[in-house]
Structure 1
Amino acid sequence: MKNLDRIYVDFHVIQTVPPSCVNRDDTGSPKTALYGGVRRARVSSQSWKRAMREMFCEDLDKKDIGIRTKRIVNLLAEELLKLKMNMQLQDAQIMAEKIMNALELLAKKKKGEVGKTKALFFISRTQAHNLATYILANQNATDKDIKKMAKTLLNQDNSIDIALFGRMVAASDDLNLNVEASAQVAHSISTHRVDNEYDYFTAIDDLAPEDKPGAGMIGVVEYNSSTMYRYATVAAHNLFKELGGEKEATAAAVGEFAKAFIQSMPTGKQNTFANRTLPDAVLVTIRRDQPINLVGAFEEPVRTVEGGYVKPSIQRLEKYAEQVYDQYVDAPEKAWAIGMEGQEETVNMKELLQGLQDTLLHDMESLEKE
């Protein structure tokens, strides 16, 4: 029996990352992970989600993108000044602080400072506007009433990235301020063993005296190269709920997620390595039972003498997916592939995005009936 109230969209990507240091640890070294008993290259989910949000900023309207900041007071003050242009900035800041104080989110501040939240807070521009509109019309409201209404307003009109990546309010024990993430992004790892290498470099001082030749600076950059398996999933049914039950907005949001996940690249050491690449293969599936990460295909690292890792990695992914579908779960309801030749519908990027959104619009009719 199908779960008509669930829609999971899974994304599987095989992608070559050239010599680079895409994502570094606290020592400046490329991030790695032990998997299958060997060292793998790794790019953290946080790093790739940041790259995706930056692509959202390029493609989406500002009203559809959230703001993550401790400076909520200043943001609300700006909205108040838009609503009442003759208001003084200091008065707007005091009113904004009143909201944040009611929610118990402000950190202690020194005299004369503008209040900041205890931790980063994720808010949509529409939510900020709605809070400002409320407090301007209810200046004499009690903290209790402000807190109740503020929580209501913060649970409406989520931006696309808040609905996808969620909001956890670390500065509060009030779980009503949290937004459950509709998307999960795995740490990307290489399909094979990786050994880091070192780039020794020098820089010349253009104004150095002629009698003192040599480098003005000497350094070393650690890097590696890899063929990576990347995975993410979107619970479209939860995204549908967080976006107010609008199926067109939900389908469009999944489309934006797909584009950003497939085409974005973290910017670590980008000027040094020019590391921008696009995937070698993409598999997108729609499931009703549960999301399925296929990283198990690479628990035994891919080995190759010559010819590279891309082709055997794609073959390994296809074979493992067939085993999973045969032994544990049904095949996905719908599947699209770029750069693969399996039973999936083979498409290009434009066709993938259009097909995905059209299918979701049809499938979400079952959610509207709930």
Structure 2
Amino acid sequence: MSRTVIDIHILQTVPPSNLNRDDTGSPKTAVYGGQRRARVSSQAWKRATRTSFDALLDRADLGERTKRLGESLGGLIVGQAPDLAGVKIDLANKALTALGLAKPAKATKAAKNKADDGVTAAESEYLVFLSHHQLDAIAAHAIAAHRAGKDPDGKELKKLANQRHSVDIALFGRMLADLSDINVDAAVQVAHAISVHAVNNEFDYYTAVDDRKDDAKEQGAGMIGTVEFNSSTLYRYATLDVDRLNDNLGDPEATRRAIHAFVTVFAKSMPTGKQNTFANRTLPDAVIVRLRDTQPINFVGAYEEVVTYDSPTGRVREAAERLASYATSVETTYGEQPLAAWISRVGEHTAALDTLGDALPFADLVTAVADEAAARLGKEE
């Protein structure tokens, strides 16, 4: 069978911001090419992508990641069987214990969330990712077992938890240390975004005035503090294994929809860190997508040497020129020409990227990528 890989490369300029903080509240950074760069972790952008799916996909196509499984499952049980409202949490806890996601003792520990029936809702020891189809099926099994006077069947519950994966689980995977047989291999890999230039974090000194001080004719601020930030032109990269995604979803049309959704929201999403403070949300300067049948290729090497602040052509223009030159050089040297390539870009400063693919408006690019990748599913080499 043929292999299909989608590589997504993005240049995006972000004004003063703090998209992704470390444990001290500072914007995350990394040293690359001997220079400190702005960094946004892959986890931060994956979450931003996953939470953006709500605007494009139905609830049934998505999942829920939580430790509070008893609470979630209890709500579904009472939704399917209102007459079981008084025992919904007890039934949920029994199902989760049989499934192996909550130990019996877990349901009797000090309650963080008490149910209406007075029973403590079970929690798992770690975040668990289940599709809404899977949660609904587990709830239905718990109800049926209760009505039949039986305990939930752990083997059957495992089967239900490993069927009808949601789009987000199929893309980002699922890893359960205690239930490795229902793990899902991720179809997507996301790189840490880094700036194409060196950065030095800055500090915003702010004051907040107490409104009542004017009435009392008092002077001075009611509160003072600092917020750390930087601004950057980021290189972002993600790769999608179309065949693995199709294996996870089990349906070519669902795979096409998932590709369409992922390319759309990965490009347009942004982590929400300090957005109210900086109003920093932007869209990419350029999106480049390459369809391959060999292996993913990250072009971050174009920026091993930093783009300088005094670049005579501007940072974005130089970043685009470097990306076009480096991508062409790598693909020519290693014989890794893409099967198809598309670009969407903004302004003349990104014109150098026209050599990398067919220029299309973003909506048309997304459709072309999804259609071409789906058309290759099942083709023989």
How high is the TM-score relative to the length of structure 2? Answer: 0.90
Aligned match of 2:245: 239
Alignment of 1:119-134 (within 5 A): 119-134=126-141
Shift of 1:211: 4.2
The equivalent residue for 2:274 is 269
How far apart are residue 291 of structure 1 and its match? Answer: 0.9
Please identify, of 40-49 and 95-104, the stretch whose mean Cα deviation from structure 2 is larger.
95-104
Q: Is the aligned partner of 1:225 residue 2:224?
A: no
Corresponding residue for residue 103 of structure 1: 99
Structure 2 segments unaligned to the other structure (5+ residues): 111-118, 346-352
Partner AA of 1:361 in structure 2: A
**Whole-Å separation in 2 of the counterparts to 1:77 and 1:207:** 48
1:184 aligned partner: 189
> How far is 1:355 from its partner?
0.7
Three-state SS of the structure 2 residue aligned to 1:88 is helix
SS in 2 for 1:342: helix
- CA displacement at 1:365 relative to structure 2: 3.6
| Residue number in structure 2 paired with 1:94 | 90
| Equivalent residue for 1:310, pick from 304, 311, 316 | 316
After TM superposition, give the deviation of residue 37 of structure 1 in Å: 0.4
1:357 aligned onto 2:364: no
Shift of 1:135: 2.7
Q: Deviations over 1:184-222 (max 9, x none)?
A: 111100011111111111111111254420111111111
- Larger CA deviation: 126-135 vs 299-308: 299-308
Letter in structure 2 aligned against 1:110: K
Structure 1 position 52 matched with structure 2 position 46: no
For residue 341 of structure 1, give the secondary structure of its aligned residue in structure 2.
Answer: helix
Counterparts of residues 290-329 of structure 1 (less than 5 Å): 290-305=295-310, 306-329=312-335
Secondary structure of the structure 1 residue equivalent to 2:83: coil
AA aligned opposite 2:234: M
Which string of whole-angstrom CA distances, capped at 9 and with x for unpartnered residues, describes residues 299-329 of structure 1?
1111241442101111111111111111224
Shift of the 191–343 alpha-carbon distance from structure 1 to 2, 3 Å rule, reads closer
1:157 aligns with 2:154: no
8 Å CA contact 2:145, 2:151 repeated in 1: no
Name the amino acid aligned to 2:130: I
Choose 157-166 or 300-309, whichever is displaced more.
Answer: 300-309
Could you report, residue by residue, the CA deviation over 1:321-360 in whole angstroms, capped at 9, with x for unpaired residues?
Answer: 1111112242110100112211411111011011112212
Structure having the higher helix fraction is 2
Residue 212 of structure 1 aligns to a residue whose secondary structure is coil
Do the aligned partners of 2:189 and 2:240 also contact (CA within 8 Å) in 1?
Answer: yes
Helix, strand or coil: the match of 2:212?
A: coil
| SS class of match (1:241) | helix
> How far apart are residue 141 of structure 1 and its match?
4.9
CA separation in 2, counterparts of 1:113 and 1:80? 16
Is the CA contact (8 Å cut-off) linking 2:342 and 2:356 kept in structure 1?
no
Distance in 1 (CA, whole Å) between partners of 2:73 and 2:21 is 35
**2 CA distance for matches of 1:121 and 1:331?**
39
Q: Distance in 2 between matches of 1:30 and 1:185?
A: 19
Cα distance, 1:74 vs structure 2: 2.1
- Counterpart residue identity of residue 260, structure 1: V
Amino acid at match of 1:270: Q
CA distance in structure 1 between the aligned counterparts of 2:50 and 2:325, rounded to whole angstroms: 33
1:5 corresponds in structure 2 to 2
Counterparts of 1:136 and 1:249, CA distance in 2: 30
Q: Matched residue of 1:74: which SS?
A: helix
- Alpha-carbon distance in structure 2 between the residues aligned to 1:14 and 1:360: 23
User: Counterparts of 1:135-214 in structure 2 under 5 Å?
Assistant: 135-139=142-146, 140-141=149-150, 146-170=153-177, 172=178, 174-208=179-213, 210-214=216-220
Question: Is residue 34 of structure 1 aligned with residue 36 of structure 2?
Answer: no
* Maintained 8 Å contact 2:77/2:139: yes
Aligned partners of 1:206 and 1:264: how far apart in 2? 37
Distance 2:217 2:339 in 1: 73
Structure 2 contact 197–309 (Cα < 8 Å) conserved: no
Structure 2 CA distance for aligned equivalents of residues 38 and 126 of structure 1: 47
- How big is the shift at 1:119? 1.0
Paired residue total: 359
* Pairwise CA distance, 1:82: 2.5
